[in-house]
Amino acid sequence: MSNRAERIAVTGMAINTPLGDTPQAFLEALLAGRSALTRWKRLDTSRIYSKVGADLSDYDVTKKLGELEGKVPPDVHKRLRRLIAKAPWSTKLSMLLAVDGYRDAGLFSAGIDTDRVAAIVAGHNINFNYQYENRLQFAEEPDFMDPLLALTGLDTDHAGSVSEVLQVRGPIYTVGAACASGNHALRMAIDEVRHHGMKAAMVVGAVLDFSPVELHAMALMGAISFESFHDEPWRASRPFDVRREGFVPAHGGGVLVIEKWDDAVARGAKIYAEVLGVECNADGNHLPQPSAEGQARLMNRTLEVCGLRPADVDYVNAHATSTPLGDLTELTSIKAVFGEHAKKLKINATKSMLGHTCWAAPTVESVAAIMQMNAGVLHPSINVDERDPAVDLDVLTQGPVKHQVEVCMKNSFGFGGINSVSIFRRAR
C-alpha cells in the first residue's frame, strides 16, 4: 500500500481529434488557431437543428492501423486488427488510442506485470449513434440488427476491448460523470496507483458517438449552438464572445498514462508532467445551471490538497464551453479564488477550436495543456470578435503567446452539477 504523498507522473499520452491524431500535430494545430468545426458529415441532420460539430466520422482507421504496425508487438497488432474488424466505431477509436498511449509510455518494453496495470474508460452512454442505428433497424426488421448489440452496446465493452488488445489484467471499468468524466477517471487512476498496488494506470477518454436524438435534445434545451453559424461552422464555438450561444458538440478522445514518479524515473521513462491532484464535488442541483460557489469551493480545495497558494498557478485551461452563463460563471469563480492574482493568470479555451468533446474533454484538454506547458507557448482563444464586457481577465484572444508555465489548473464541469479540477506541474 502507498500513500497520498507519493508523486504521480504522466508518462504516456495519445490523442485523436479532427485537429490531429498525435500530440504534436494536435499542439501545432492549436497554436495555429485552426478550427476543427465543420458541418456534420455522416449524421442525418435533415430533421434536427444541430448542423455543426467537430466530426471524426471519416477518420481513416485502416491508415492508423498501418502506422502502428511495427511500432507495437506483433501479437498486439494482430489482436487490434481482429477486434477492430467488428467493433462499433467509437470502440475502434478507444482501442487505437489505448494502444497508442501504451506505446508512447514505453510500457510494451517496460517489463511490468500486466496484472498490475489498470484501464479506466471515461464516459457513459458512449455508443449513442450505434444504439440509435440498431433501434432504427429493429423498427424495420428486428432480425437484421447487430446481434452483438447486447455486448458491444455497453460502455464496459470499451474497457473490455482495451483490456483484451493490451492484455491488461488489472482493474478495468468505466467512470461516468458527464463532461467531468475524464478528470474523475484520472482521480480513480491515481487511487489505483497509490492505494491498490497498480504499477501503471491508463485513462481512456472515449469518443462520444453522438446520434441525431441527443443533438436535437440539446438544441431544444438551448445548450448547444445551432442558430447562427451553419454557413460558417468554424465560427460557431466562441467562448467569451458576446455572440456565444451554446457549446458545439465534438468528436475527440485522448489517453493519459500515469505511474508513481519514482517508478517512472527508475525505468528511465519520459515524463510529460506531474499530477499534483484531482478533486471533485457537486452543486446539489441536477440541472445544467453552473454554480460559481461550487466551482470556487472546489478550486480552493484542490489548491489546498496540492499544497499550493493561488499565486503558484500560472495558467488555467478553462472549461469555457461557449455558453452565455457557463463562461462568466467560471471566470467569476476564478476571480473569487485567485483574487488579484487572477489578473496575472493566462487563461485559454481549447474548445474555441475543438468544440466540446464532452465526456473526453478533461482528458483531451489535459493533453493540450501539458503539451503547451512543455512547449512554453499557449494557444489563442479564437473567435472572440467582440469580447463580452464582463470578461476582464487575460483569456488570450491574441496568440499564440510565449509563457513559461510551471503549474496548470484544468477545470471541467458537467451536467448534473458535477465539478472537477485537476492540477499539473511541469516535470522537474
Give catalytic residue positions: 179, 319, 356
Tell how strand 273-282 and strand 418-426 pair up. Answer: antiparallel
CA distance 240 to 208: 25
Do the beta carbons of residue 119 and residue 102 sit within 8 Å? Answer: no
Q: Quote the CA–CA distance of 232 and 147 in Å, as a whole number.
A: 40
The crossing angle, in degrees rounded to 10, of helices 74-86 and 61-68 is 170
| Cell numbers describing residue 212 | 441525431
- HEC string of the chain? CCCCCCCEEEEEEEEEECCECCHHHHHHHHHCCCCCEEECCCCCCCCCCCCEEECCCCCCHHHHHHHHECCECHHHHHHHHHHHHHCCHHHHHHHHHHHHHHHHCCHHHCCCCHHHEEEEEECCCCCHHHHHHHHHHHHHCHHHCCCCHHHHCCCHHHHHHHHHHHCCCCCEEEECECECHHHHHHHHHHHHHHHCCCCEEEEEECCCCCCHHHHHHHHHHCCECCCCCCCCHHHCCCCCECCCCCECEECCEEEEEEEEHHHHHHCCCCCCEEEEEEEEEECCCCCCCCCHHHHHHHHHHHHHHHCCCHHHCCEEECCCCCCHHHHHHHHHHHHHHHHHHHHHCEEECCHHHHCECHHHHHHHHHHHHHHHHHHCEECCCCCCCCECCCCCCCCCCCCCEECCCCEEEEEEEECCCEEEEEEEEECC
Alpha carbons 124 and 6: distance in angstroms, whole number: 30
C-alpha cell at 98: 489505448
